[in-house]
Amino acid sequence: MPAFTCCVSNENTVNPMAARKNIHGILGLSILLISHVLLVMEVELIAAWFYYWAWWSYILIVDSCIYSIKKNSLIMNRKGEFIVMLFWSIVIWTFFEAVNLIMQNWYYSNVVPSLVIRWLCYGVAYATVLPGLFETTELLEAVGLFKNSSVKPITVTTGLQAGLAAIGIVFLLGVLFSPRYCFPLVWGSIIFLFEPINYRWGTTSLLKNWEKGTARKFYLLLTAGLICGILWEFWNFWALTKWIYTVPFLEERKVFEMPLLGFLGFPPFAVECYVVYNFISIFRHHRGWEEDNYRLNQGKRVSSPLAVITSLGGLFFCLATFNAMDTKTVNSYWPSIAELEIVPPAITLRLETLDIKTPQALLARTKNTQGRRDLASMLNVSDDTLARWIKTAALSQLKGMGTVNANLLNKAGIADIPSLARQDPAMLHGKLVSLTHGKFPSAPREAIIRVWVKEALRQGNNP
């Protein structure tokens, strides 16, 4: 089972044959460059899947660099451990998605409509989290960052361990019962909760490092977290399928889609992931992902019942959370011209024969006066009628909007972006709630409506 298989590579630490095959970095760089070029060319398929192209390419590039430096890397020498990491990466990030169901700090827009493909995409995306963080950490270590750093040794007493665990519990309870004010505590609570357990059970531990007077791994993780956080937000900003933040009190000042202060959460998040993975290694006879511990206790296997229970439990947890996300975290899906209720079905069919299947395609076809006149003539409709369809299409393309929400706004009397820009988010939210009471689709949260209005105002100021 993926959760507890030993997963030890039989390759030697230095393998001349493997050295000649270290080409996955070139593959990753090629994919990354091509995907960026196609994104700039506004190829919709690439834009929708851009996050996946970017992050998996990055992982290949970084792993190749690590192998070039020290002739030992996750993909080249610890493939089995890499596969285990993918499984736990999905489970660990899904935990934070479950917490976000309570916090409601971010939501997803323009996701794939097919449930099966969508859930597979969740898994493929979340599988990049731990490899991205840990590969970056190992690369920084390989190039010698913080090599000579030291700290004053600490004495880890039973009281200190209990105190740290208590802090972790209080932090988590704060997030669960007062998410509006305590949401930042989720990015660190697990460190306090699990690190004393790691120390007590003798697995890889940051507290052990501090006992010896070194905090290098801690510094490396913090730095890797910040680097990955910047890349996460940079690549997300340009993607068509993306997440958008609605963090309380921090909605105004953003870099990419992330509130500026939100970047402070990435460094402790990296430490958190490291601590959780070390906790998991307790049940794997202390085997981990790092070069100095992935071969530990090779002759010992975790019992099959425990492996099965853990794997199935993780899978069930992920699927249950994915189902809840579809209701509470996903706000819009890939847009289709057929979903715009203002466009008659007969016209939709004719548009599709003209290869106009999405609102974006309609906007591209009618971006100038002659294009609008030609299309109106082909469809045998008036210029005013076509103009109304174009306005609704543009509304559906607004940041995170989607066709379903554009239809809802039309029912509320908001037919275009300028009309939306004049709305008060709180009053509009109340109006949409009254329109959707007990019906599908439900009214979006007020925080999401604030994102729409802000973007509509921005477009009005920058036509």
DSSP per-residue string spanning 130-199: HHHHHHHHHHHHHTTTTTT---------HHHHHHHHHHHHHHHHHHHH-HHHHGGGHHHHHHHHHHHHHH
Q: d(Cα 397, Cα 359) in Å, to the nearest integer?
A: 7
Question: Buried b vs exposed e over 406-435: b needs ≥16 C-beta within 10 Å?
Answer: bbbbbebebbbbeebbebebeebbebbeee
174 shares its domain with 264: yes
pLDDT one-digit tens code per residue, 75-134? 999 999 999 999 999 999 999 999 999 999 999 999 999 999 999 999 999 999 999 999
Q: What is the pLDDT of residue 463?
A: 56
Q: What is the pLDDT of residue 324?
A: 97
Residue 57 belongs to some domain of the structure: yes
Residue 455 belongs to some domain of the structure: yes
444 shares its domain with 365: yes
The residues near 15 (Cβ < 8 Å, ≥ 6 apart) are: 71, 76, 77
pLDDT one-digit tens code per residue, 132-154? 999 999 999 999 999 989 999 99
Q: Map residue 410 onto helix, strand or coil.
A: helix
Q: What is the pLDDT of residue 8?
A: 39
- DSSP letter assigned to residue 262: G
Is the Cα torsion angle 309, 310, 312, 317 positive or negative in sign? Answer: positive
- DSSP letter assigned to residue 444: P
Residue 248 belongs to some domain of the structure: yes
Q: d(Cα 404, Cα 410) in Å, to the nearest integer?
A: 10
In order of 2, 81, 308, the CA distances from 304 in angstroms are 11, 18, 6
Instruction: Answer whether the bond into residue 441 is a cis peptide, omega within 30°.
Output: yes
235 shares its domain with 192: yes
234 shares its domain with 179: yes
| Beta bridge mates, 109 | 242
Residue 445 belongs to some domain of the structure: yes
Which of the listed residues 265, 300, 328 is the one where a domain comes to its end? 328
Is pLDDT at 461 greater than 90 in this prediction?
no
The residues near 324 (Cβ < 8 Å, ≥ 6 apart) are: 98, 101
404 shares its domain with 361: yes
206 shares its domain with 225: yes
260 shares its domain with 131: yes
Is pLDDT at 166 greater than 80 in this prediction?
yes
| Beta bridge mates, 330 | 108
128 shares its domain with 33: yes
296 shares its domain with 416: no
pLDDT one-digit tens code per residue, 91-100? 999 999 999 9
Q: d(Cα 176, Cα 168) in Å, to the nearest integer?
A: 12
Of residues 10 and 25, more confidence is placed in: 25
* Confidence band, pLDDT 50/70/90 cuts, at residue 1: very low
DSSP per-residue string spanning 74-136: HHHH-HHHHHHHHHHHHHHHHHHHHHHHHH--EEEESB-S-HHHHHHHHHHHHTTHHHHHHHH
Long-range contacts of 245-254 (CB under 8 A, 24+ apart): 245/105, 245/106, 246/104, 246/105, 246/106, 246/107, 246/445, 246/447, 246/448, 246/450, 246/451, 247/105, 247/106, 247/183, 248/105, 248/180, 248/181, 248/183, 251/447, 251/450, 251/451, 251/454
224 shares its domain with 122: yes
Residue 94 belongs to some domain of the structure: yes
Q: Is 234 exposed, middle or buried (0-12, 13-18, 19+ CB in 10 A)?
A: middle
389 shares its domain with 431: yes
The residues near 275 (Cβ < 8 Å, ≥ 6 apart) are: 190, 191, 194, 195, 198, 206
Residue 47 belongs to some domain of the structure: yes
Is the Cα torsion angle 354, 360, 366, 371 positive or negative in sign? Answer: negative
Which of the listed residues 269, 302, 328 is the one where a domain comes to its end? 328
Q: Is 283 exposed, middle or buried (0-12, 13-18, 19+ CB in 10 A)?
A: middle
Over range 156-166, report the average pLDDT. 96
Cα-based angle 277, 281, 283 (whole degrees, multiple of 5): 130
204 backbone dihedrals φ, ψ, rounded to 5°? -55, 130
* Paired tokens of 258: 């992330």
pLDDT one-digit tens code per residue, 40-76? 988 888 888 999 999 999 999 999 999 999 999 999 9
Q: Is 292 exposed, middle or buried (0-12, 13-18, 19+ CB in 10 A)?
A: exposed
Residue 69 belongs to some domain of the structure: yes
Query: What is the domain range of residue 444?
Result: 337-461
Q: What is the pLDDT of residue 306?
A: 85
Residue 174 belongs to some domain of the structure: yes
Count of domains for the chain: 2
Which of the listed residues 310, 328, 346 is the one where a domain comes to its end? 328
36 shares its domain with 175: yes
